[in-house]
Amino acid sequence: MVTPRWIEKALGIKDTAHSVLAPMPCKILRVEVEEGQQVKKEQVLVVIESMKMETSIRSPQDGVVSKIVHQQGELCKAGTALVEFEDPASIA
């Protein structure tokens, strides 16, 4: 059974299939890409700081960045989208 979109929106459920998520609560130190930029797998997208350690968040795939969700200096919760990619089906 498919969950209706209005229920997903009301519950705050997001489609994360084309997103890179924060692995832990963090602060955004640097955003290394721009919206519309073509990226390669393993390319650094965002550098975060958590528990006084810097971590580079890398692209899990080749693709085009559709949205930078959080900017430098912002705080994020674990599981929050940091970068969203264009749906490959919509590009073809």
Structure confidence by residue, pLDDT tens digits, 6-31: 665 555 555 566 889 999 999 999 99
Which has more confidence, 58 or 16?
58
Contact residues for 32 (Cβ-Cβ < 8 A; gap 6+): 43, 44, 45, 46, 47
Residue 92 clears pLDDT 60, i.e. is over it: no
CA-only gyration radius of the chain, Å: 14
Span 34-43, mean pLDDT? 95
- Give the per-residue pLDDT at 82: 93
As a whole number, mean pLDDT of residues 59-87 equals: 92
pLDDT the model gives residue 49: 96
At 90 the pLDDT is 63
What pTM value is reported for the model? 0.77
**pLDDT given for residue 79 in this prediction:** 86
Q: Are 53 and 71 in contact (CB under 8 A)?
A: no
